[in-house]
Amino acid sequence: MRKCSLESIDRVFAAINADASLYLPVDGDDGKAVYTKWEDGVKWSGALNTVRSPKSFFFPQMEDLVQFRTEGKTIEVIDPRKESEDFVVFGVRACDAKSFEVLDRVFLVDPVDSYYASRREHGVIVTVACTRPVETCFCKTFGIDPAEPAGDVSVWKTDSELFWQSNTEKGEKLLEKLADLTEECTDEAVAAQKEKINSVMSRLPLADLKADAFGAGKTMKFFDAPEWDELSESCIACGTCTYVCPTCQCYDIKDFNTGNGVIRFRCWDSCMYSEFTKMSAGQPRLTQKERFRQRFMHKLVYYPEKNGGLFSCVGCGRCLSRCPISMNIVKVMKTIGGKADE
């Protein structure tokens, strides 16, 4: 383990940015934190979490897949990709770090998504333990420890210092580059910080929320639950929950005619939308109730059933804070989960 003073953080950031583009949470004009490319003068936000997760570094909201140009009967196929830059994402929280495991099981299984895989190869994740968890946090429900944030490098912050621990080969290489700006240390301060974080977590409103009622093999128990009618009634299908969610992976692929060729691109989509997965025979989920149910059943039942019990929710709390009608996965779990004892 190594440490540096908070006063030297700009020098540390400059050293990281010298070899790879550095991105970190920065307060926007509205006071909310967003990931921003670091440059001299950019200040690391003290916010618990960013409005949108770091998912977009590996799975962008929109990206070109392929281009086509035609001349007579000749079709030229163009790969628009350029070599991915080496980059470091600093300030990732434990919940968001766990989300990459969920996404990896989607995009890195056969057939491997080469766009996502390339970015994962070039990206380094530096996590920071949550010094100030908030009322919407419930990551421990899904077995995530905010005091052990994982990633390639884990960082713990005190009032005056940052403590660095490498977890992977990528992380070791990064800390080697920071050797002159950091020094070896013991882990006493980190142990105290972990204890403090877990003490805060134990007092939060959702500290006792359990996911035990959900998981593999629960489709028949929950699919026809009458509670879905009332839960879905107020949903306005805005899709906000899916766009701020760090684990949602749905996308659509479209072709755009530029006038001298065609660009095929993909963009994030939402299972909450009426035209999602619409086929020539029509929409397989005709009602808002069916679409609402699909989102939460996928998070709590379908995904864990196919992925060894891993839930597709990491308890980051973004949907709790951003939903305009205050409908979220916690309310669903508390309402539907009661059926587990029936």
State pLDDT tens for residues 15-71: 999 999 999 999 998 889 999 999 999 999 999 999 999 999 999 999 999 999 988
Q: What is the pLDDT of residue 244?
A: 95
Instruction: Go through 98-136 and write b for each residue having 16 or more CB atoms within 10 A of its CB, e for each that does not.
Output: bbbebbebbbeeeeebebbeebbebbbbbbbbbbebeeb
**Over the stretch 155-200, which tens digit does the pLDDT of each residue have?**
999 999 999 999 999 999 999 999 999 999 999 999 999 999 999 9
Identity (one letter) of the amino acid at 277? Answer: T
* Angle of CA points 119, 261, 249, to nearest 5°: 30
pLDDT at res. 279: 66
- The Cα-based distances of 58 to 41, 88, 276 in angstroms read 26, 12, 22
**What is the share, in percent, of the chain residues with pLDDT greater than 90?**
85
Predicted confidence band of residue 341 (pLDDT cuts 50, 70, 90): very low
Tens of pLDDT, residue by residue over 259-283, are 888 999 999 999 888 888 776 666 6
Q: Name the nearest CA neighbour of 142 among 328, 299, 292.
A: 299
Share the mean pLDDT of the chain.
93
pLDDT of 142 higher than 70: yes
φ, ψ at 130 (rounded to 5°): -80, 105
Beta strands in 152-220 (DSSP E): 153-157, 161-166, 183-184
C-beta atoms surrounding 171 within 10 Å: 20
Give residue-wise pLDDT tens across range 290-321: 999 999 999 999 999 999 999 999 999 999 99
The pTM of this model reads: 0.92
pLDDT for 72:
81
